[in-house]
Structure 1
Amino acid sequence: MNFSVLMSVYFKEKPEFLKESIESLVSQTLKPDEIVIVLDGKLTDELYRLLDEYKNAYPDLFKYVQLEQNMGLGKALEIGIKECRYDVIARMDSDDICHPERFEKQINFLKNNPDVKVLGSWIAEFEEGPDKIESIRKVPSTYEEIREYAKTRCPLNHMTVVYYKEAVLKAGSYQTLMWNEDYFLWGRMLNSNIKFMNIPEALVYARAGADMFNRRGGLKYFNKEVELQKKFLKMQFIDKQTFIKNVITRGTVRILPNSIRGFIYKKLLRR
């Protein structure tokens, strides 16, 4: 089963993190057939040099898609998914690290479960390094559990997902909804009865910390949260009672002080 990897990079990326991420891709026990990296606007010289090194080392593996200006993750992925050669696409973030057997386990799972069109896994979160795991974000495994869980929380860890291009495009692909493009996509796909599953194992090591919690808070984030819930209500993915509950619970977390929000994420929403 041939597959592509899809990643987006922008100018604020740290070269050392990007290097670790790419190294984890090219060192897989089952190597991808293509790595598509969307350059979301102009990058730094250091980032360009790093990407050139990999392109020179693996000329047939890497494909770069340069955008004229920064358009955000959702738009970058919407463009990038169309540039992927293969129908099976594995998502990856530019500052996270794959478990060496991630693709082998996920691709074999898809081969053995042809009805599953979206497959994710748990993530192991770290601050200092992947050898010092701070927490595990566990998500439900079965389709039925995922459908129910998705009504109140995002049911997938986006950077772990492998999906079928055709299924994503049929659902409308990524659409601009700042910080919630992936969750909105999952909701639409689940609403169309597309089968999801998660492997109950951490197959990606994800960076966490104060910066991440800062990105998940503030009035702008609260407003986007309400916008997402309105869309879910309109398409009847959730009912009015769940809408109110989500705005109160999820919305409140967005406007709490960063230290409290970090505590909630690390201590109450992780294991």
Structure 2
Amino acid sequence: MSSIPFSVLMCVYKNDNPTYFKQALESVSNQTVRPSEIVLVIDGPIPKETSDNINDFALKNKDIFNLIDLKVNVGHGKAKNIGLEKCTHELVAIMDSDDICTNDRFEKQLSYFKKHPETSILGGIISEFNKNINISLGERSLPSTHSEIKKFLKKRCPMNHMTVMFKKSKVIEAGGYLDWHYNEDYYLWIRMYLSGAIFSNLSDIIVYARVNDEFYLRRGGWKYFISESKLQYFMFKKNIINIFRLTFNILIRFFVQFVLPNKFRKWLFLNFFRK
């Protein structure tokens, strides 16, 4: 057990791959610092294989496992809010249902919070892979200091959501998770910025993130472009960005998310937005 208690929040729904989900669960429990609590939200009906994986995991981790079974799918934002309410500790680590933590992820994040107690939210680098975790498709590195992250937020999402550990009170203060098409996390970071939260990112890989061609498809199309454009306009209305930055951000997104074919968008992500 850690000297600093913390919760891990996960959500799973019917379309999550059962094998990948099992690997994600195992990576959360096989840590150098074991979580004090794992809160898992089942967002609506799930396949039997996923349910069996949950039951097996619960038997092995009954002392720290808290299961919330929603009979109807409510969506990512609402499911995370429901889970967050049930987290009993101030520090909460987010974990996606198909990614894999490094075995020292929580140890590194807790160490940072201990040294920098003023921090509201802490993320880190992700290494992206498809089928083989040892073959990296790229790393998504982000600014590490609060001042750098505040500047970056005006251009792009400044945190890798699947890596974050945050103070529950600071997220609730900003309004929690709210639905925003494929951008619930960016929307939350913007609102935390407005509420005065202190951001930081580790300069270490702490999560292996699974990607495939659907990942790049989700970052394209008219709906995604409109969602991103509205988010940029929200920042403009809140005086985070000026009219010139707003125009530039929307034009870039129109080209990348709507004009570019998926194969070129993938190439752009891997060669310009990743290391």
Deviations 1:71-103 (A, max 9, x none): 221121111111111110000100000001000
> What SS does structure 2 have at the residue aligned with 1:260?
helix
In the other structure, the counterpart of 2:31 is 28
The Cα of 1:106 is off from its aligned counterpart by 0.3
Any gaps of 5 or more consecutive residues in structure 2?
A: none
The partner residue of 2:112 within 109, 118, 130 is: 109
The answer (yes or no) to whether the contact 1:225–1:251 under 8 Å persists in 2 is no
Deviates more, 1:136-145 or 1:210-219: 210-219
The partner residue of 1:149 within 148, 152, 156 is: 152
Deviations 1:137-189 (A, max 9, x none): 00000000000000011000000000000000001111111111110110111
Letter in 1 for 2:209: A
Residues of 2 paired with 1:80 and 1:236: CA distance? 32
The answer (yes or no) to whether the contact 1:65–1:80 under 8 Å persists in 2 is yes
The Cα of 1:236 is off from its aligned counterpart by 1.6
In the other structure, the counterpart of 2:200 is 197
Deviations 1:225-265 (A, max 9, x none): 11211211122222211111111112321112111111111
> What SS does structure 2 have at the residue aligned with 1:109?
helix
> What SS does structure 2 have at the residue aligned with 1:54?
helix
The partner residue of 1:165 within 160, 168, 182 is: 168
Deviates more, 1:82-91 or 1:248-257: 248-257
The answer (yes or no) to whether the contact 1:89–1:162 under 8 Å persists in 2 is yes
> What SS does structure 1 have at the residue aligned with 2:255?
helix
In the other structure, the counterpart of 1:251 is 254
Letter in 2 for 1:207: R
In the other structure, the counterpart of 1:43 is 46
The Cα of 1:193 is off from its aligned counterpart by 2.2
Q: CA RMSD in A?
A: 1.0
1:118 and 2:121 aligned:
yes
The answer (yes or no) to whether the contact 1:24–1:99 under 8 Å persists in 2 is yes
Residues of 1 paired with 2:92 and 2:161: CA distance? 12
The Cα of 1:58 is off from its aligned counterpart by 1.2
1:260 and 2:269 aligned:
no
> What SS does structure 1 have at the residue aligned with 2:83?
helix
**TM-score scaled by length of structure 2:** 0.96
Deviates more, 1:56-65 or 1:2-11: 56-65
Deviations 1:43-77 (A, max 9, x none): 11111111011111211221111223222211211
1:1-271 equivalent positions in 2, closer than 5 A: 1-255=4-258, 256-271=260-275
Residues of 2 paired with 1:56 and 1:71: CA distance? 27
Residues of 2 paired with 1:23 and 1:156: CA distance? 24
Cα 1:230–1:68 change in 2 (3 A) is farther
> What SS does structure 2 have at the residue aligned with 1:247?
helix
> What SS does structure 1 have at the residue aligned with 2:137?
strand
The Cα of 1:120 is off from its aligned counterpart by 0.3
The answer (yes or no) to whether the contact 2:232–2:249 under 8 Å persists in 1 is yes
Displaced runs of 4 or more, over 6 A: none
Aligned pairs, how many? Answer: 271
Any gaps of 5 or more consecutive residues in structure 1?
A: none
Letter in 2 for 1:239: N
Letter in 2 for 1:257: P
The answer (yes or no) to whether the contact 1:74–1:178 under 8 Å persists in 2 is no
The answer (yes or no) to whether the contact 1:97–1:204 under 8 Å persists in 2 is yes
